[in-house]
Structure 1
Amino acid sequence: MKPQFQKLLKQSGVKGNVTRVKKVSGGSINDAYLVETDAQRFFMKLNEASPARFFALEAKGLALIKSTNTMDVPDVIGYSDKEGESFLLLEWVNGHRTEHTDKLLGERLAAMHQTSGEQHGYSEATFIGTLQQPNSWYDSWLSYYRDCRLKTQLQIGIKRNVIHAQRREKLERLLVRLDRWIPNNISPAYLHGDLWGGNWIVGEHGIPYFIDPSFLFGDRHFDIAFTEVFSGFSTSFYEAYKATFPLADYYKDCKPLYQLFYLLVHLNLFGEVYGSNVDRILRYYVGD
């Protein structure tokens, strides 16, 4: 095993000899490893079956977040999307949560969300999990969210036979009415894009770091809505965020619609276990 990792480190410009390789938790998509040399530690993801530009896009997303000078992210040491040899090499980040960690996370996410791009969307297709996410540039957040996000998941769900009959009909009706709840002309903030509790970690001195982004520019409340789907964010996180950047009044009306995207992604990836949550949101907005 060591010669393979030695080769990839050398390819990334890292000097020194690999002394230890240990498999660690790193999500369900990739194999993840702690790689130690005689000088330092690294985190490496491997995925021999990854699609084109899979790790390049992750590296680019980390770089964009880092460019805001608000949130910490691991430094990218090297990556490749070469078939059969795709990997991402990051600095090793390890620390312990402190009483200030969650407050810092909220404040720094709010600061990142105050950094704006020129349009909504992104310059190229990305990934949400293993699903490809088509993108383009839009002046309208409403149009981007409807056409690139919800319609894409509808089409995937039809092909995978998890969106059909009443579920399909209700989702199609919702898309026509979306302008009742989703804002149109808002600032395109820098977004993580896949912000659940497993996609932030703690470094030295309790500093929070973002990992695994599915980057886009869009409504900041899209990020916040996903933090509320699963666990991983505390009351002090939300209090600190709101104190730094209060949530807009419309958020309460569109939050379930933003969560719908992520629930559709999970429905398309993992099946009917997420179907009842999708149906609940559809009933709320379009009725029985």
Structure 2
Amino acid sequence: MSPALPGALNAALGGAWAVRPLHASGFCDTWRADGADGTRLFVKTAPGARAAMLRAEAQGLAAIAATRTVHTPEVLALVDLPGGGCLLAMRWLDLAPPDAGFGARLGAALAALHARPQPRYGWEADNFIGATPQANGWAGGDALDDWLGFWRERRLRPMRRRLARQGAAEALLGAVDAVCGALPAFFADGDMPRPSLIHGDLWSGNWGMLADGTPVIYDPAVSCADHEAELAMMELFGSPPAGFWPAYGARQRLRRGYARRRPLYQLYHLLNHALLFGGAYAQQALACARGALAG
């Protein structure tokens, strides 16, 4: 353990802290910190350039928390570490196994988040989807107010460029090009989405239930986007818990044609997985692109 961690926590929050490691990954390390007063923290640290990921995570958590719709971990400190890197300290969450009503509560909370009006597509800062930079457009003054243009130029084409530099197969790159060219067909009725604040990376590993039954979401990659993009991600690696869909649909309209657009939105995440992890994800992304084109 870095001797800087207890000192950094003391400087930011006061008190004495006992810190022990939880998990290390290629992206960040995680820690449990116990204070002398009984306070428990979940702490992430990241070195060098990776520190930007934690800063973006803290900003995303704060944005979701500000809506007062769905619970997120409370950010208590964001601290630059000596020698570079960053520390993100959050209040510890005691999670419980989801009960029978969890899906309905999650659906209602997420619908409330998505129903909040947002000014435009994108976000006030660029951030990350996993470890991949995610361009959102507001900060550089080049926001795209056309949803098709946003999804093409801020989501699909940046992934395609990164995959091309990595040497991805021409079949996959060509399929992404074809999807980009066919975007109007996914919105043939002209019913364009209004911007909604979305978590952005909401697979089953990024939601849970507190001991009192409250749904909680974490590790966001926020942007203002089509709320269907959130739902598509929830269906990519599993499915939402039982009871989710009726509760969500009672509060937030599902537009006609969602099933047609679902692979369009899932493609972004599969391209990212192909970029980060390779292997079978490239073939899965190709199949998704072809399925989206086939309708």
- Fold equivalence (TM over 0.5): yes
Matching residue of 2:118: 117
Of the three residues 132, 143, 147, the one matched with 2:149 is: 143
Alignment of 1:139-218 (within 5 A): 139-162=145-168, 164-182=169-187, 185-218=192-225
Partners of 1:81 and 1:151 lie apart in 2 by 33
Instruction: Rate the CA distance shift 1:161–1:75 in 2: closer, same or farther, 3 A.
Output: same
User: Is residue 2:217 matched to residue 1:227?
Assistant: no
The aligned length equals 284
Q: Distance in 1 between matches of 2:19 and 2:240?
A: 31
CA contact (8 A) 2:8 2:79 kept: no
User: How much identity, in percent, do the aligned residues show?
Assistant: 28
Cα distance in 2 for partners of 1:184, 1:146 equals 17
Higher mean alpha-carbon deviation, 275-284 vs 113-122, is at: 275-284
- The farther-off stretch of 253-262 and 30-39 is 30-39
Show CA shifts across 1:130-168 (max 9, x none): 111122122111111111000000001001112x32222
Classify 1:285/1:42 alpha carbon distance in 2 versus 1 (closer, same or farther; 3 Å). Answer: closer
Is the CA contact (8 Å cut-off) linking 2:50 and 2:85 kept in structure 1? no
**Which amino acid is 1:179 matched to?**
P
Aligned to 1:37: 35
> Scaled by the length of structure 2, what TM-score is found?
0.89
For residues 221 and 3 of structure 1, the distance between their equivalents in structure 2, rounded to whole angstroms, comes to 45
TM-score (norm 1): 0.91
Amino acid at match of 1:94: D
Amino acid at match of 2:85: E
Greater mean deviation of Cα atoms: 219-228 or 49-58: 49-58
Q: Residue type of the partner of 2:147?
A: W
Question: d(CA) in 1 for partners of 2:239 and 2:259?
Answer: 20
State the alpha-carbon separation in 1 of the partners of residues 205 and 261 from structure 2: 24
User: Aligned-pair distance for 1:2?
Assistant: 7.7
C-alpha separation in 1, matches of 2:26 and 2:245? 27
What is the aligned-residue RMSD (CA, Å)?
Answer: 2.0
Structure 2 unaligned blocks of 5 or more: 138-142
The match for 2:140 is: none
Q: Which moved more, 1:76-85 or 1:234-243?
A: 76-85
TM-aligned CA distance change 1:195 to 1:27, over 3 Å? farther
Matching residue within 224, 240, 248 for 2:255: 248
CA distance in 1, matches of 2:85, 2:226: 36
Post-superposition, which runs of at least 4 consecutive aligned residues in structure 1 deviate over 6 A?
none
141-150 or 243-252: bigger deviation? 243-252
Unaligned runs of 5+ in 1: none
Asked if residue 92 in structure 1 is aligned to residue 103 in structure 2, the reply is no
